[in-house]
Structure 1
Amino acid sequence: MRLRHLALAALVLSACGPANTVQALPNPPVETGPPNAPDQKPAFPQQTRAPEEKLGVAYQVETLTAGLDHPWSLAFLPDGAKLVTERAGRLRILGADGKLSPAVAGLPAVFAEGQGGLLDVALNPDYAKNGLIYWTYAEPRDGGNGTTAARGKLVLGAAPRLENVQVIWRQMPTMDSPLHFGGRLAFARDGSLFVTTGERSILPGRMQAQNLDAALGKLIRIRPDGSIPADNPYVGNPQAKPEIWSKGHRNVQGATINPWTGELWTVEHGAKGGDEINTPKAGKDYGWPTITYGEEYSGKPIGEGITQHAGMEQPIYYWDPVIAPSGLAFYDGSLFPAWKGSLFVGGLKGYLVRLTVKDHQVVGEERLLSELNVRIRDVKVGPDGALYLVTDEDDGRVLKLTPKKG
């Protein structure tokens, strides 16, 4: 009988592979608090609350500059300087020597109330040749405001300025709301430009996230000059705005291109629960406000309170309770080998989130920098392999993460 038991045990081990490859059970998730909507269940395993995965990477945090007024984004210039936006409407240059320039002249007026203001900034892929930069902002308009994308030529020097400024896209219709502007920019490999939006939070805007004749709650795809790519999914549909790439979004505040696959990844704010990561595809519907995880801030269900519906996409991952995500970047640098391939998400709740992604599934989550207790608005990988962050605060900072010395 004992031999039979031993043989059975050996059979089980052989089915699992060599003994030294048998994996332990996954760690418990980072999040241990109750979800806002406890009756909701994920659509597939590890769609939420992936196992905690501490890689033990030692790093140090350096403050490159402070005293910024709610910085929102940064971009890297070829000479080692950085462009930094302040939501109040200022574009600054942080020199390689650590000095901040005066505000760059030539920006249009911004609506700097609530969540509005000067938002993202990005360099044209051919910046070295044409000097063009792009930015998004909340534009004041008759009857309200709206997310707008513009470009101009950056002229450097003691008094930096923008020349030949032109608006290349406006979100329509105009809404009178200080909320949910979206506003991230991402240049795709083919040279097209993605612009993220929000649905402006107020009910008249929210209900248009599903409507193709409105640019609210949509992901937008245009050419760098603002023209419409011929292969956009709704080109030729007279009932649709041709710049729309995907619909059913709430407030997308992170966008990045996977450096290995060229695929667009986004992160968007849910309501009370339901922050989510997506890889938006052409012509797809990402559900808001018909389906979502989480609930209204009042505690009531959102719409019918459902999380799945035919013809609507599921997020790759969601958080409930929320992390308030903003900023998104795949780590492809060389300073942190253990982080290679990780997806980093800024968290306005006071930490930086690192995710391990395999085959479009989040298999591990780690939360960093909680000891700083800062609102992380943007995260970028620098040309030097360091990780750069901006903190959305009255005394906002630009932070740099490098391997810890010693």
Structure 2
Amino acid sequence: MARKAMMVLAVVGSLASFGCSSQQSSATATASGGTATAPASAATPSRSMRVETIAKGLEHPWSVALLPDGAFLVTERPGRLRRVAADGTLGEPIANVPAVYAEGQGGLLDVVLAPDFATSKKIYLSFAEPADDGTAGTAVATATLVDTALHDVRVIYRQQPKLTGGAHFGSRIVFDGHGHVFISQGERQDRMKSQQLNMLQGKLVRLNLDGSVPRDNPFVGRKDARPEIWSYGHRNMQGLALDPRTGTLWESEHGPRGGDEINIPQAGKNYGWPIITWGIDYPGYKIAESVGSSAPGMEQPHHYWAKSPGLSGMAFFTGRPGSAWNDSLFLGSLAESNLIRLSLKGNAIVGEERLLQDEGARIRDVRVGNDGNVYVLTDAANGKLLRLTPPGT
């Protein structure tokens, strides 16, 4: 691919910032009562933010990992993993990537560096894995990155059972810093499987780094439940991130028509899908299995949107008290084609701002670099890798 010179765009007042009513876009749910609190106020506008195009020509890029040397690893949904040099040069596809089921929403999904990447060169990939009978399921593989090829590729997790259809694979990968890896996935558009503990669809999974099951997982020892499960009742988990301030895991997922939500998933808890939801079915009527927005024994979301942004990747921006973006949570928006910035006070969401409106692009992934910049992927046939420099930097 041709080298792409970086382009700097002045981003001024057209970056919309707004507070949303719970009827229109966002609301915060209480932990126990299940009612919506007052809507979040508008975040401080990021009018002096700078946006640079690092690279373009990526085919439906899904995830980006930031390499220690300033380069990037980017997954393309059709099944390619590419290195993007710090100057934007696109490398040829990296060899030995696992075969993917590329129909519908399937394909090559998340890529993350192992905690010991500096010495091991190991990476983790999530992907839609095909079976010989036409079914597919979310899977995670580890591999060693050596120059332009993967070596020692090993699948450490497979969603069981595999199902037909090309929707709701998830999937994100996060390490907890204590020897465990969390894997998010969807319910494959088979709604009630989210509630069935003997199946892995619609479950947040927690494993040891080698794919074995931790002894303290909440369902270990139960004959009616898969031991890999951490939490359940999820729909299609597209975002997963660890809060650097506390080590707490946050998760985001698509609702149906409305009801996109953020959760802080706890061990063994049921997050309700499809029995409870703040959304409705796509044709405009009630979800058939739903009893409403609350039910005994089912958790309320930490935050939800009555109008779905189509949440994707998420990342925390913390530990930079001099930055206008300190203590923020960024989330990509697919349906509304922008980047959401939530202002945080502790775990409370106190403001919301929409960025990159002028790009008019579906935002698939967002990562925060050690350099204090934010890196974003746009989901398109000619997708881009962008760098956002915070206001005042």
Task: Look up the match of 2:12.
Answer: none
What is the TM-score of this pair, normalised by structure 1?
Answer: 0.87
* 1:345-400 superposed Cα distances (whole Å, 9 cap, x missing partner): 11112111111223432221111111111100000001211100001111100000
1:147 aligns to 2:138 (yes or no): yes
Distance 2:18 2:105 in 1: 35
* 1:285-314 superposed Cα distances (whole Å, 9 cap, x missing partner): 000010000100011111234000111100
Aligned mate of 1:138, from 128, 135, 138:
128
Task: Name the SS of the counterpart of 2:140 in structure 1.
Answer: strand
Aligned mate of 1:122, from 100, 108, 112:
112
**1:186–1:257: 8 Å Cα contact kept in structure 2?**
yes
Distance 2:351 2:25 in 1: 19
Q: Which amino acid aligns with 1:371?
A: D
Distance 1:344 1:110 in 2: 28
1:269 aligns to 2:254 (yes or no): yes
Distance 1:34 1:227 in 2: 43
Cα distance change on mapping 1:113 and 1:171 into 2, 3 Å: same
**1:87–1:112: 8 Å Cα contact kept in structure 2?**
yes
Distance 1:165 1:188 in 2: 22
Q: Which has the higher contact order (CA 8 A, sep 6+)?
A: 2
Task: Look up the match of 1:367.
Answer: 354
Task: Look up the match of 2:149.
Answer: 161
Task: Name the SS of the counterpart of 1:338 in structure 2.
Answer: coil
Of Structure 1 and Structure 2, which has the larger fraction of its residues in helix?
1
1:216 aligns to 2:206 (yes or no): no
Distance 2:370 2:345 in 1: 25
Aligned mate of 1:254, from 228, 235, 239:
239
Report how far residue 100 of structure 1 moved: 1.1
Q: Which amino acid aligns with 2:137?
A: G
Report how far residue 78 of structure 1 moved: 1.3
Report how far residue 131 of structure 1 moved: 1.0
Report 1:217-236 matches (<5 A): 217-236=202-221
Report 1:181-192 matches (<5 A): 181-192=169-180
Q: Which amino acid aligns with 1:271?
A: P
Report how far residue 208 of structure 1 moved: 1.0
Distance 2:119 2:24 in 1: 52
Task: Look up the match of 1:104.
Answer: 94
Report how far residue 404 of structure 1 moved: 5.9
**2:274–2:290: 8 Å Cα contact kept in structure 1?**
no
Aligned mate of 2:298, from 312, 324, 327:
312
Task: Look up the match of 2:40.
Answer: 50
Aligned mate of 2:160, from 167, 172, 176:
172
Report how far residue 246 of structure 1 moved: 0.2
**1:30–1:366: 8 Å Cα contact kept in structure 2?**
no
Task: Name the SS of the counterpart of 1:313 in structure 2.
Answer: coil
**2:23–2:306: 8 Å Cα contact kept in structure 1?**
no
Task: Look up the match of 1:9.
Answer: none
1:351 aligns to 2:338 (yes or no): yes
Aligned mate of 1:324, from 299, 310, 328:
310
* 1:19-70 superposed Cα distances (whole Å, 9 cap, x missing partner): xxxxxxxx9833597579xxxxx933437x4222234452111111001100
**1:73–1:377: 8 Å Cα contact kept in structure 2?**
yes
**1:208–1:216: 8 Å Cα contact kept in structure 2?**
yes
Cα distance change on mapping 1:211 and 1:123 into 2, 3 Å: same
Task: Name the SS of the counterpart of 2:19 in structure 1.
Answer: coil
Distance 2:321 2:305 in 1: 29
Q: Which moved more, 1:395-404 or 1:70-79?
A: 395-404
Kindly, what percent of the aligned residue pairs are identical? 49
Report how far residue 191 of structure 1 moved: 2.1
Distance 2:255 2:245 in 1: 28
Aligned mate of 1:339, from 313, 322, 325:
325
What is the TM-score of this pair, normalised by structure 2?
Answer: 0.90
Aligned mate of 1:398, from 379, 385, 393:
385
**1:66–1:395: 8 Å Cα contact kept in structure 2?**
yes
Q: Which moved more, 1:390-399 or 1:363-372?
A: 363-372
**2:22–2:305: 8 Å Cα contact kept in structure 1?**
no
Query: How many pairs does the alignment contain?
Result: 368
Cα distance change on mapping 1:28 and 1:88 into 2, 3 Å: closer
Task: Look up the match of 2:13.
Answer: none
Q: Which runs of 5+ in 2 are unaligned?
A: 1-16, 27-32
Pair member with larger Rg: 1
Cα distance change on mapping 1:400 and 1:335 into 2, 3 Å: farther
Q: Which moved more, 1:238-247 or 1:331-340?
A: 331-340
Task: Look up the match of 2:9.
Answer: none
Q: Which runs of 5+ in 1 are unaligned?
A: 1-26, 37-41
Q: Which amino acid aligns with 2:144?
A: K
* 1:331-354 superposed Cα distances (whole Å, 9 cap, x missing partner): 026497111111111111211111
Task: Look up the match of 2:80.
Answer: 90
Distance 1:333 1:81 in 2: 23
Report how far residue 322 of structure 1 moved: 0.6
Task: Name the SS of the counterpart of 2:267 in structure 1.
Answer: coil
**1:182–1:196: 8 Å Cα contact kept in structure 2?**
yes
